[in-house]
Amino acid sequence: MATTTLRYRVKENSILARMAALILGADKVAIVLGVTIHLHHTGKAEFLANKPWLRHELMHIEQYAQHGSVLFIVLYLSQSLKNGYYHNSFEVAARRAEHIERYETAFTMTD
């Protein structure tokens, strides 16, 4: 877990999230790039109120912070190729974070 407060942003109506939705065939999508959570078909209020979903994406924020953006993306993609999306270790950790009470309080949202 983060020892210092990690800052993140939430971007609604993101083109990146829209592309991800098309590729994944999903309706509501949140996808993290660097310090920003990109949303498609969901708003800030709905997303932030869904604590498990918020915690999941915040774990990805923490993973980006731990490894740095470039290395994290390389590691994430290699995990996906090796293990698939569900068994990708970063996704396993993010799903685990969904159940960590108050995990979201270690993070600060900025504009």
- Given the rule CB under 5 A, which residues bind Zn ion? 91, 94
Closest distance between Zn ion and the C-beta of residue 94, in Å?
A: 4
- Edge-to-edge strand list for the sheet holding 6-11: 29-33, 36-40, 6-11, 107-109
Q: For tokens 């490894």, what's the residue? A: 67
Which residue has the CB atom at the shortest distance from Zn ion?
Answer: 94
The token duo for 94 is 């993010």
Question: Of 90 and 111, which has the nearer Cβ to Zn ion?
Answer: 90
Least separation in angstroms between CB 56 and Zn ion: 6
Query: What is the CA 9 to chain-centroid distance, rounded?
Result: 11
In the complex, minimum distance from the CB of residue 97 to Zn ion, in angstroms, rounded to a whole number: 9
For residues 29 and 94, which CB has a smaller minimum distance to Zn ion in the complex? 94
User: How many alpha carbons fall within 13 Å on the CB side of residue 59?
Assistant: 20
Q: Closest CB to Zn ion among 37 and 94?
A: 94
